[in-house]
Amino acid sequence: MSGKRIVLTSDATMMSNYNGGVMLGFAAILPASMISERIFRWLFCPPVEAAPDGSAILAPCGMRKVEAALLEAGFRRDEVIVAHPDHLDKAIGPDTEIVGITHDDPMGKIAIREIEEMIGRGAPYNRTKFLELVGHPLIKEHKPKVVIGGNGSWELRGEDVGVDLIYLGEGERTFPSICRKIVAGEDVGGEIEGEIVPGDEIPVNMGATVGGIVEIGRGCWRGCSFCSPTMRRPRHRPISNILKDAEVNIRAGQLDLILHSEDAFQYGSAGSEPNREMLLDLVRRVKDLGPRTVDVSHMSLASVYHHQDLLVEITEIVGIGTDQKYMSAWIGIETGSPRLLAKHMKNKTKPAPLEIWPEIVKECYGLFSDQSWLPVASLVLGLPGETEEDVVLTTELVESLKENVGLMLPLFFTPIGETRLGNARGFGKDRARPEHWELVGTCLEYNLRHLKSLHRYYSERMTAGLSQHLALRGINLLSDYALKKYLRRMKRGEPPN
Ligand code: SF4
């Protein structure tokens, strides 16, 4: 087997459709010592299907974009493969010159740090699986250039684990020319930043995506201090290309679609006001393609707050309550403190003043409940300049939302190289004060309260069989029991162990 010239792949934690429940993918941040590999693959991260040639039937959207860009740039189909990690023997051989790995959190530096620090049970699955992949015997034998790209590529800075090139930023414009240089034997250095790609240059995918992700645009004008600068230029894709990506998924049987951008409400907008016609036309035309469900990946709460009727219209077009039970979106609450917003997220509430942020969040949660939307919210702990009072305000805000179904994810602040806070000190257990533990405990309490509803809602999209559903129900019960011990300690302001 001579191998393909360019092999695009990732590890098992990225190359999975998570039994149809993207939330199950979070198990990848748990310590590998906690769950046996067999259970992990059966319940949480079952591998995507493989074609007879070793290619993956589903792949992360970013990897699909790079695949399409390479083919558009003139690489031949027989030179490029999106390879299944369990079948690398069909992809990597003596002719392989580049192995490009896409990853969101290869070293577990984002989400896992708090789990690892809180419960101290060793390395998480995502890091374990990523290190297994870069240490694959065929990579060791044939020595292709190993390039890491994707949202988590920055995590490899300063790490000596067999990665030759860290590729930051967007892939479609720059990555094909880098591949040409590598193939020509030129030295490309150890780190590269890809050029920002205009919306109409983002190519149409050649294959289906994990989670049914369909990219509609990139970037966000709100300019938070901890967010990547690549984000600062909002761009949107032409509707024709979005529909083609949706069709590629539907043809492959990927019937649950997620429209992906930083803020779905900004689709087609040149400024800060939504472009109602374009957004509603997009949702209508995607819906007309006949997917089983439609979700959006991210929304800004301020956009929702200022255009509540738009959310109601989307709810009607998608057919929540008739065609699908609920619709979900990721949102960033980040803090309950207007003071901290003024420091790091000064555009977060625009055009409303920062002072009414808690009211914006509460009103949106009321609307989500009325319209059967399921918000998955992130909170950030330990931002530079955060005070005890800021954390208390966040805890109070979470408390006030407890009747509204959703998920609350408290994340430790992690400085990312190219952001304005790139050199700031990260947050960790060593710096956590009693009010931080109380906040984490309040979030855990919130999540446990809604676990059953979440499972019920998510089961609509899940491809898991009866035994897997029963196992998940069992885990719900067990986590309720097992986590209450931690919860009680944290709510008293004590660390969990
Ligand atoms: S609102 Fe979200 S995507 Fe926009 S700049 Fe802030 S963190 Fe980034």
pLDDT of residue 99: 98
Regarding whether 231 and 132 lie in a shared domain, the answer is no
| Nearest Cα residue to atom 6 of ligand 1 | 224
Exposure letters 459-478 (e unless 16+ CB within 10 A, then b): eebbebeeebeeebeebeee
| Nearest Cα residue to atom 8 of ligand 1 | 227
Regarding whether 153 and 56 lie in a shared domain, the answer is yes
User: Domain ends where: 278, 298, 318?
Assistant: 298
User: Domain ends where: 136, 166, 194?
Assistant: 194
User: Domain ends where: 194, 217, 237?
Assistant: 194
Distance 360 CA to ligand 1 centre (A): 16
Most ligand 1 atoms within 8 A of CB, residue of 218, 225, 231, 418 to mutate: 231
pLDDT of residue 103: 95
- Evaluate: CB of 444 within 6 angstroms of ligand 1: no
Contact 424, 415 (CB under 8 A): yes
Distance 155 CA to ligand 1 centre (A): 20
Regarding whether 440 and 406 lie in a shared domain, the answer is yes
In a domain, 315, yes or no: no
Q: Give, for all 497 residues of the chain, the pLDDT tens digit.
A: 799 999 999 999 999 988 887 777 777 777 777 778 888 787 788 999 999 999 999 999 999 999 999 999 999 999 999 999 999 999 999 999 999 999 999 998 876 566 666 666 677 888 999 999 999 999 999 999 999 999 999 999 999 999 999 999 999 999 999 999 999 999 999 999 999 999 999 999 999 999 999 999 999 999 998 887 656 789 999 999 999 999 999 999 999 999 999 999 999 998 889 999 999 999 999 999 999 999 999 999 999 999 999 999 999 999 999 999 999 999 999 999 999 999 999 999 999 999 999 999 999 999 999 999 999 999 999 999 999 999 999 999 999 999 999 999 998 898 876 667 777 788 888 889 999 999 999 999 999 899 888 877 777 777 777 777 777 777 766 666 767 777 888 888 888 77
- Evaluate: CB of 268 within 6 angstroms of ligand 1: no
Distance 55 CA to ligand 1 centre (A): 34
In a domain, 258, yes or no: yes
pLDDT of residue 25: 74
Regarding whether 214 and 92 lie in a shared domain, the answer is no
Angle between helices 308-318 and 357-371 (to 10 degrees): 20
In a domain, 222, yes or no: yes
- How far is the C-alpha of 387 from the C-alpha of 377, rounded, in Å? 21
Q: Is 121 helix (H, G, I), strand (E, B) or coil?
A: coil
The boundaries of the domain holding residue 82 are 6-194
In a domain, 473, yes or no: yes
- Evaluate: CB of 303 within 6 angstroms of ligand 1: no
pLDDT of residue 276: 97
Distance 223 CA to ligand 1 centre (A): 6
As beta bridge partners, residue 168 has: 193
Can you give the pTM of this predicted structure? 0.93
In a domain, 324, yes or no: no
- For position 421, which CATH number holds? 3.30.750.200
Distance 220 CA to ligand 1 centre (A): 6
- For position 213, which CATH number holds? 3.30.750.210
- What digits encode the pLDDT tens for the residues 382-431? 999 999 999 999 999 999 999 999 999 998 898 876 667 777 788 888 88
- Evaluate: CB of 229 within 6 angstroms of ligand 1: no
**Structural tokens at position 209:** 């995506």
Distance 206 CA to ligand 1 centre (A): 29
In a domain, 375, yes or no: yes
pLDDT of residue 434: 95
List strand residue ranges (DSSP E) for 139-274, in order.
145-149, 165-169, 191-194, 208-209, 213-215, 217-218, 235-236, 256-260
Number of domains in the chain: 3
Place of tokens 């191998």: 3
Regarding whether 175 and 58 lie in a shared domain, the answer is yes
Distance 152 CA to ligand 1 centre (A): 17
Regarding whether 209 and 104 lie in a shared domain, the answer is no
Query: Cβ contacts of residue 292 below 8 Å, gap of 6+?
Result: 255, 256, 324, 461
In a domain, 466, yes or no: yes
Regarding whether 159 and 89 lie in a shared domain, the answer is yes
In a domain, 462, yes or no: yes
- Evaluate: CB of 231 within 6 angstroms of ligand 1: yes
Q: Is 272 helix (H, G, I), strand (E, B) or coil?
A: coil
Regarding whether 358 and 249 lie in a shared domain, the answer is no
- What digits encode the pLDDT tens for the residues 193-248? 999 999 999 999 999 999 999 999 999 999 998 887 656 789 999 999 999 999 99
- Evaluate: CB of 220 within 6 angstroms of ligand 1: yes
- Evaluate: CB of 224 within 6 angstroms of ligand 1: yes
| Nearest Cα residue to atom 1 of ligand 1 | 222
List strand residue ranges (DSSP E) for 74-178, in order.
80-82, 98-102, 145-149, 165-169
Regarding whether 238 and 188 lie in a shared domain, the answer is no
- Evaluate: CB of 344 within 6 angstroms of ligand 1: no
- What digits encode the pLDDT tens for the residues 136-175? 999 999 999 999 999 999 999 999 999 999 999 999 999 9
Place of tokens 């070293």: 107
Regarding whether 107 and 84 lie in a shared domain, the answer is yes
Contact 226, 413 (CB under 8 A): yes
Closest CA to 235 of 203, 261, 204, 206: 261
Regarding whether 223 and 87 lie in a shared domain, the answer is no
The closest-lying atom of ligand 1 relative to the alpha carbon of residue 227 is 8
Distance 185 CA to ligand 1 centre (A): 39
Closest CA to 305 of 350, 258, 275, 369: 350
Most ligand 1 atoms within 8 A of CB, residue of 300, 303, 335, 409 to mutate: 300
Regarding whether 212 and 122 lie in a shared domain, the answer is no
